[in-house]
Amino acid sequence: MIADLKLELERANAAADQDRTQVAPLHPAAPVAEEVEVTREVEVMLELTPEPMAEEPVPGEETTEQTLPPVTIREQFADTAFWEPLLVTDRAGRARVTVTLPDNLTTWVMRGVGLTADTVVGERTVDLVATKPLLVRPVTPRFFVAEDRARLAANVNNNTDEDLLVDVSLIAEGVRISPDTPHSQPITIAAHSEGKATWDVTVADVPHVQLTFSAVSGTYADAAKPRLTTGPAGSLPIYRYSAPDIVGTAGQLVEGGSRTETILLPDTFDDRRGQLTLKLDTSLATSMQDGLKYLRHYPYKCTEQTVSRFLPNVLTFHALESLGIERPQLAERLPGLVGVGLEKLYREQNPDGGWGWWYNPRDWHSNPYLSAYVVFSLVKAQQAGIDVSEGVLAKGIQYLQAQVESVDKYGDFRNANRQTWLLYVLAEGGAASSDKLDELFEHREQASFYARAYLAQALWLNDPEDARLVTLLSDLNNAAIFSATGAHWEENKHDWWAMNTDTRSTAIVIDTLTKLDPENATSSPR
């Protein structure tokens, strides 16, 4: 569509030919000396040049035998049709521009601003409607996902004064159109109304989708590609989402022989893509090395991540050392890694002895759960032979003791879990209240399985011969869920604030059974 625009500028109370006038942007700070009237005569000429679509069959299942009638395809869309920052008029104050409009069928707002050499300014706007007697508006997503099913649509407007029988078609490359929704669909559209045609498609595993919608009724015709396309040549991209499927298993080979592990591939597995990686470690301890590297390079620096960067290294080093497994590189790196973390925790301890998620000396708030995590890390570092500030640790323990509540204040299972966690950490530091542990044991049903495991460890730390340990261990054993790959534990409710999952609960229960009942068959690898 080409718009032929005439701009005529008339100077108020002055002869039109006294100044050469420019059409330019209006500067916000420009003083208005006197009013200038800007008038615009708009002549719109619509030119349609037939451009038949080439018949290019698409290979494979995505091939369609339909072709478009000889009609220009609208595919050049833009938000701004024309911009001319400096347009000089003739001596009569007139200028003329020819604008080739994009393929948008819409109402364009044309704005002209006049400015003379002596800062006389003015502006005016006029609407310019670009439309057709019959027009099609594609309805598509901005992108597709391989193997997804989608429904495409075309809204067709009949702007004539008569009812029309319209043949609405879709030419598609990169999707398979369902036989239930044929490529070409005849629909009747009343005068000055709109109709709709839909197509059910399955997205192929190709880079892009090419879609062209058309509507034809006698001498009226229109064709268009989707408006918001981001792929090459007006196409829509196809994304492929995949996630690694990780299967881990552990066991003991108590005698010579072999062991067969079966790997089941997904039903929708595409053998053209993907890979299988097999990693074999001689012990559970050595399999922890990759996890330590991940935590070491974790990008965030809040209190929780500060602890999580060095605590697993401390625990792993201590475990390997107790097993007689030497890791010189870890031993060399550990002091520096732990030292940086400890210094940060020392600086960020709040006046009440606790820690918050992020350090803010002007507006600090200590979090009981997180503070217990920090105290736990300090105790474990100390147990591993690392020098820890006694003052910082003592203040942290005092804060935790002040957060321990009576049973009647537990409320829901989350608070019961938190109280168990606090008492377990205090037991690790040798400061747990026996009375509070007694209360927790009597109300242990309120707590999740992982919290009951912590309670068992707290009682064991206070008294390894505590008779109540048998009851707690029996509860944990009875809650185990067995499968062909082993045993695990599932919580009835998830404690999100404690960042707990069934995997974490299983790990905590196994840790408890390993410490308190090493010969327990449930926790032993088979």
Is residue 275 a part of any domain in this protein? Answer: no
| Distance, first Cα to last Cα, the chain | 77
Q: Same domain, yes or no, for 178 and 139?
A: yes
Residue 1 above 90 pLDDT?
no
Q: Which of 41-45, 56-60, 362-366 has the highest mean predicted lDDT (pLDDT)?
A: 362-366
Q: Are 406 and 368 in a shared domain?
A: yes
**Band of the pLDDT at 290, cuts 50, 70, 90?**
low
- Token readout for 350 is 């709040």
Torsion of CA 289, 293, 296, 298, to 10 degrees: -130
Regarding whether 92 and 158 lie in a shared domain, the answer is no
pLDDT (0 to 100) of residue 285: 66
pLDDT reported for residue 26: 40
Q: Judge contact between 14 and 34, C-beta under 8 A.
A: no
Q: What is the pLDDT of residue 297?
A: 61
The DSSP string of 493-524 is S--GGGT--HHHHHHHHHHHHHHH-TT-TTTS
| φ, ψ dihedrals at 42, nearest 5° | -110, 125
Last residue of a domain, one of 214, 239, 264: 239
Phi, psi of 172 (to 5 degrees): -130, 135
Higher pLDDT, 413 or 4: 413
Q: What secondary structure does DSSP assign to 243-305, as a single string? A: ------------SSS------PPPTT--TTS--------SSTTGGGHHHHHHHHT----SHHH
Residues 26 and 175 in one domain: no
Same domain, 35 and 182: no
Residues 49-68: what's their mean pLDDT?
41
Residue 508 structure tokens: 């905590």
Residue 445 in domain: yes
Residue 247 lies in a domain: no
- Confirm whether 334 is domain-assigned: yes
Identify which of 326, 61, 323, 337 has the alpha carbon closest to the alpha carbon of residue 176: 61
The model's pTM is 0.56
Of the three residues 129, 145, 169, the one that is the final residue of a domain is 129
In angstroms, rounded to a whole number, what is the distance separating the alpha carbons of residues 258 and 356?
A: 51
Calculate mean pLDDT across residues 181-186. Answer: 93
97 and 226 together in one domain: no
For residues 433 and 57, the model is more confident at: 433
Residues 362 and 393 in one domain: yes
Q: Which structural domain range is residue 7 located in?
A: 2-129
Q: Does the structure show a pLDDT above 50 at 19?
A: no
For residues 68 and 171, state if they share a domain.
no
Tens digit of pLDDT for each residue in 291-345? 666 666 666 779 998 998 888 878 877 777 777 777 777 677 777 778 888 999 9
How does the average pLDDT of the chain come out, rounded? 81
Across 462-473, average pLDDT: 94
Q: b vs e for 178-209, b when ≥16 Cβ sit within 10 Å of the residue's Cβ?
A: eeeeeeebebebeeeeebebebebbbbebebb
pLDDT at position 263 is 79
- Tally the domains of the chain: 3
* Winning range, highest mean pLDDT, from 28-37, 234-243, 437-446: 437-446
Residue 270 counted as domain residue: no
Of residues 187 and 264, more confidently modeled: 187
- 450 and 328 within one domain: yes
For residues 422 and 293, the model is more confident at 422
Both 181 and 229 in a single domain?
yes
pLDDT value for 384: 86
Other CB atoms within a 10 A radius of the CB of residue 110 amount to 18
Q: How far apart, in whole angstroms, are the C-alpha atoms of residue 415 and residue 396?
A: 20
Report the percent of the chain where pLDDT is more than 90.
Answer: 45
Residue 514 phi/psi, 5° resolution? Answer: -65, -40
In a domain, 523, yes or no: no
Q: With beta carbons less than 8 A apart as the criterion, state whether 132 and 222 touch.
A: yes
User: In this structure, are 343 and 367 located in the same domain?
Assistant: yes
